[in-house]
Amino acid sequence: MLAERLPGLLPPLPDDQALEVTSIASVMSSEAAPLGLLRRPPYVAMHHGVTMAAMVGGGSGRPSPGAVTAPHRGVLFLDEGAK
């Protein structure tokens, strides 16, 4: 629960970093692109059963970033990581 609050303590992202975070979010979410720049640092908590392929990313056809890329400039919380 404490790790979830960490992005709220971080300062808002400057324009160049907000552009990076928004670009990654729009590539990772095929349903809808974010509206405007994302100014808050992202937070991602990985599931304990995540595969290495899902963490790293890739794929055939249209490669996509992995879950490790999602919290770029933010917080990646790894609890009970994969072995």
Asked if 46 contacts 78 with a C-beta cutoff of 8 angstroms, the reply is yes
What residues in the chain have per-residue pLDDT under 50?
none
Mean per-residue pLDDT of the chain: 83
Asked if 25 contacts 13 with a C-beta cutoff of 8 angstroms, the reply is no
Asked if 55 contacts 67 with a C-beta cutoff of 8 angstroms, the reply is yes
Does pTM top 0.85 for this prediction? Answer: no
Over the stretch 60-74, which tens digit does the pLDDT of each residue have?
Answer: 777 788 888 988 999
> What pLDDT does 46 receive?
84
> What pLDDT does 16 receive?
96
> What pLDDT does 32 receive?
59
> What pLDDT does 31 receive?
60
